[in-house]
Amino acid sequence: MGRNPVTWLGSPTFPAAARDALGDVQLRGNLAHATTTIRDKRSKAVAELPDWQELRLAGQAIKDDVLSNLDVYLERLEASVTARGGIVHWARDAAEANEIVLRIAREKGADEVVKVKSMATAEIGLNEALEEGGVHAIETDLAELIVQLGDDRPSHILVPAIHRNRSEIRDIFRRAMPDVPPNLSDRPRELAEAARKHLRRKFLSAKVAISGANFAVADTGSVVVVESEGNGRMCLTLPETLITVMGIEKLVPTWSDLEVFLQLLPRSSTAERMNPYTSVWTGITPGDGPREFHLVLLDNGRTKTLADTVGRQALRCIRCSACLNVCPVYERTGGQAYGSVYPGPIGAILTPQLGAGTDDQETAALLKSLPFASSLCGACYEVCPVRIDIPSVLVHLRGKAVENTHTPESVAMAAAAWVMASPVRFHLAQRLSTVLRLVARRGRVKRLPWPGSRWTDSRDLPAPAKESFSAWWRRTRG
């Protein structure tokens, strides 16, 4: 399939969002530069390992074992964490998870908490829930801080502010960060120093910290966070109370299993041989680090996703973002056009499953449209470190979205099937298609009347060949 952006059909929200992104020249320039740079670095880092494909197979096998025996490993994790002084909470959905975290923060008298970058907390809208409850959450990851101060939305799993350039970041800091010098430049060193001074005071005064988790080891109850800046380690060690919100699928059974992912994740995400900061903690240690540790195990649609034998492989995801950096749709629209915390190819298969069954019609339409946000080129599957067959899941979810409905896609596919079922109809359609050559310019059809306009609104249609294959065969082979 071609590497071209597609029109998202079937949603009242997404086509407009995607078209707005396609028309934003600055956004597309920022995305193209960033994704190309990350993609090239990743390719070199992966090429250094002769057993990369074996590591991918191992990662897939470990994750599939966890998903097949999730109840066993979760109970083992709970017992291990509890035995080492931690407190485990179970949350069926976002509301329960938010209530648990807010209650703990209030019990500790905190009106402000520091946060390690976490997709799970963004998924449940924790910051907003805390704010409503009188507790202000401060993002300490630099990119997340940029998004928060800019009253913006993340657009990438790994680099949430990938859609911003240095000048835009400087302007955000000048406007929203106290005590920033008015002559602050857009040099990365100065921007980082300004953020460091701003956050240092927060680290030293916060009573409560909140984190996500990249992995948790069921055998020992150890929780792992990997990062590049060191802000996470400040959150994980200085406050008196640490709360970790973790999706229940983030488990690995043993430390030897963890070793596989600590090779796969950094090379796939930041193109590094290892993460600059890998923090591991097991319960609490008297006299060292937080005095209380709370682990919130979040379901929020994950057990429902497990019931789908095709779609469940999305739960293998280790949030590396490699699929975003190779996706032609993401590169042209950015993450905000997906309307989801999880953008890109993985978001197109994970978000619809986690949010399945919603009563909100607009959200339901949005979720049904997400699997169509792909060219099905297969690049995402090729780079996925745990071998999630994203194109197959996309097709599977598309089928479920149009099941028992009459959408433009289903009508078009039914018409195509009817034409191709008969040699006579098929050859007649080939002859009629030559009419398109009359409106083509330089081999491309730029505009078609409705319903063909649904296609040509966002991309060109190649003009039909002068001669069909069957006609060429008859002419050349008799």
pLDDT digits (tens, 9 = 90+) for 365-406: 888 889 998 999 999 999 999 999 999 999 999 988 888 777
Overall average pLDDT of the 159-183 stretch: 89
pLDDT for 429 equals 86
**Tens digits of residue pLDDT in 431-464:** 888 778 778 888 888 888 877 777 777 778 888 8
DSSP state of 224: E
Show Cβ contacts of residue 421 under 8 Å, excluding neighbours closer than 6 positions: none
Residue 237's φ and ψ, nearest 5 degrees, are -120, -35
Q: Beta partners for 445?
A: 461
Model confidence, pTM? 0.85
Radius of gyration of the chain (CA): 25
Domains assigned to the chain: 14-304 (3.40.50.10420), 420-477 (no CATH)
DSSP 286: T
Q: Which residues contact 99 (CB under 8 A, 6 or more apart)?
A: none
Q: How high is the pLDDT of residue 3?
A: 30
- Mean pLDDT across 17-36: 73
Check pLDDT > 90 for residue 49.
Answer: yes
pLDDT: which is higher, 160 or 221: 221
pLDDT at 5: 32
| Tokens linked to 111 | 């009106």
pLDDT value at residue 20: 64
d(CA 304, CA 381): 23
Phi first, then psi: give them for residue 119, nearest 5 degrees.
Answer: -70, -35
Identify the pLDDT of residue 16.
Answer: 56
* pLDDT per residue as tens digits for the range 298-356: 999 999 999 999 999 999 999 999 999 999 999 888 888 888 899 999 999 999 999 98
> What are residue 320's phi and psi, to 5 degrees?
-85, -25
For residue 19, the model assigns a pLDDT of 56
| Span 70-86, average pLDDT | 98
pLDDT of residue 407: 67
Interhelix angle 25-47/255-269, rounded to 10 degrees, is 130
pLDDT for 172 beyond 80: yes
- For residue 70, pLDDT over 60 is answered with yes
Determine how many CB atoms are found less than 10 A away from the CB of residue 29. Answer: 11
Indicate whether 167 pLDDT > 60: yes
Average pLDDT over all residues of the chain: 89
Q: Cα separation of 176 and 78, whole Å? A: 41
List residues bridging with 288 in a β-sheet.
Answer: 285
Residue 392: C-alpha distances to residues 262, 328, 354 (Å): 27, 17, 18
Distance CA 67, CA 253 (A): 11
Burial of 424: CB neighbours in 10 Å, binned 0-12, 13-18, 19+: exposed
Helix (H) or strand (E) holding 409: helix 408-420
pLDDT in tens, 187-222: 999 999 999 999 998 999 999 999 999 999 999 999
Which runs of consecutive H residues, i.e. helices, occur in 292-343? 302-306, 322-326, 328-333
pLDDT value at 240 more than 90: yes
